[in-house]
Amino acid sequence: MNKKVLTGEAITISIGNLKIGTDNPPIFIAGPCSVESREQILETALRLKEVGIHILRGGVFKPRTSPYDFQGLEIEGLKYLREAGDAAGLPIITELMDEKNMNIVLEYADIIQIGSRNMYNYSLLKALGNIQKPILLKRGMSATIKEWVMAAEYIAAYGNKNIILCERGIRTFENYTRNTLDLAAVPIMKKETGLPVIVDPSHGTGIRELINPMSKAALACGADGLMIEVHPNPEKALSDGHQSLTIEQYQKLFEEIH
Ligand code: PEP
Ligand code: MN
């Protein structure tokens, strides 16, 4: 890793008044895996704002393993997410899956999430380098540290250093959990890139009961924030309900770590 734009010097990312990284306190991103309806996202946003979160998440373009599963509400959902964020006074983050929707996502979202499956999509990463909007770059599910660093380099080298990294677990031989949450990556990526690193224990474990202990472990090893899936009724969720906390469970966790 010789030629690098991300030298390891600490970079702070600003989202409005919110600051992420360096010595700032951890930030809390929460919300459903998918935006499912206007009512669902509005209720979730208002209740999570009460709990004290900083950023609302919600997927509208969903990268599902099966083409027969719910694919997301797309642009209609993006508008609901924006409306919910505005109603609650929260910035919003959502996943961009392909370049053709970049302008509309740029128009509505405060942070653009690049999912695990697109970490290797170099043409998309180059396109993100040409904008200044903050990017949340999730780790590829089979990405080594070096490959993840280089994916961030793609965005930075093309001109955008507003990058937040997100450890979301990797594939290993272990299959009790959905992924193996690699917490050693947190201090390593902070040192290698200087970028803030947050942790997603929802996808990182795939098991609701593990989110509480893994959130605490993530903060203990220096994570700059947590992104957690929360749904008002996980049993009825259209995606990832098994790894989603109820709002009450999230509130309990939030209080325990504050
Ligand atoms: C998500 O955050 O909803 C998601 C699809 O995550 P990942 O890209 O990490 O699988
Ligand atoms: Mn999900």
Residue 8 exposure: Cα atoms within 13 Å on the Cβ side: 7
For residue 158, the CA-to-ligand 1 centroid distance in Å is 24
Write out pLDDT tens, residues 116-129: 999 999 999 999 99
> Is residue 202 a contact partner of residue 211, using CB atoms and an 8 Å limit?
yes
Distance CA 96, CA 108 (A): 12
Hey, what domains does the chain have and what are their CATH numbers? 28-256 (3.20.20.70)
Q: How many CB atoms lie within 10 A of CB 123?
A: 9
Predicted pLDDT at 201 = 98
Q: From the alpha carbon of 202, which atom of ligand 1 is closest?
A: 2
- pTM score of the predicted model: 0.98
Predicted pLDDT at 59 = 98
Average pLDDT, the chain: 98
Write out pLDDT tens, residues 17-52: 999 999 999 999 999 999 999 999 999 999 999 999
178 lines ligand 1 (CB under 6 A): no
Of 113, 106, 187, 117, the residue nearest 145 (C-alpha): 187
63 is written with which tokens?
A: 């990268």
Write out pLDDT tens, residues 52-97: 999 999 999 999 999 999 999 999 999 999 999 999 999 999 999 9
Q: From the alpha carbon of 138, which atom of ligand 1 is closest?
A: 9
Number of helices followed by number of strands (H, E) in the chain: 9, 10
For residue 17, the CA-to-ligand 1 centroid distance in Å is 26
Write out pLDDT tens, residues 189-207: 999 999 999 999 999 999 9
Query: 2 falls in which pLDDT band (50, 70, 90)?
Result: low
Q: Average pLDDT of 182-194?
A: 98
Phi, psi of 252 (to 5 degrees): -60, -45
Write out pLDDT tens, residues 213-235: 999 999 999 999 999 999 999 99
Per the rule left: phi > 0, alpha: psi between -120 and 50, beta: everything else, 22 is left
Q: How many CB atoms lie within 10 A of CB 120?
A: 16
For residue 114, the CA-to-ligand 1 centroid distance in Å is 8
105 lines ligand 1 (CB under 6 A): no
Helix (H) or strand (E) segment spanning residue 31: strand 27-31
Q: How many CB atoms lie within 10 A of CB 101?
A: 16
Evaluate whether ipTM surpasses 0.95: yes
Predicted pLDDT at 3 = 85
For residue 230, the CA-to-ligand 2 centroid distance in Å is 10
